[in-house]
Amino acid sequence: MDKRNLAFGKTNFILLGIGFAVIIIGFILMSGGASTETAFDANIFDARHITIAPIVTFIGFVSIIGAILYQPKGSKEVEE
């Protein structure tokens, strides 16, 4: 397979990897202690779980979309 036939370049794959890493960090921030039948854990309503983690995860998804749409400046070749 030729390099010309690849859909993404090296920069796209690096940006995709960064986006996936940000999403994983967001899901790790979202996880927390679980409540049991006998004990309630009020930390599940902490600002980290409710606000920060979803924002980080959303930023990760947006960065993946940006990585897919990213096209380097010199790669606007026309196929004949």
> What is the Cα–Cα distance from 48 to 18, expressed in whole angstroms?
21
Judge contact between 2 and 46, C-beta under 8 A.
Answer: no
- Residue 26 domain-assigned (yes or no): yes
Residue 33 region by backbone torsions, left for phi larger than 0, else alpha for psi between -120 and 50, else beta: beta
- Residue 78 domain-assigned (yes or no): no
pLDDT at 80 over 60: no
Q: What is the pLDDT of residue 75?
A: 62
**pLDDT tens for residues 26-63?**
999 998 777 777 888 777 888 888 899 999 999 999 99
- Residue 49 domain-assigned (yes or no): yes
Q: List Cα–Cα distances, 48 to 14, 23, 34, 35, in angstroms.
A: 27, 15, 15, 17
- Residue 12 domain-assigned (yes or no): yes
What's the chain's average pLDDT? 84
pTM, 2 dp:
0.78
Q: Shortest CA distance to 70 belongs to which of 9, 6, 21?
A: 9
- The domain containing residue 51 runs over which residues? 7-32+45-69
Report the domain count for the chain: 1
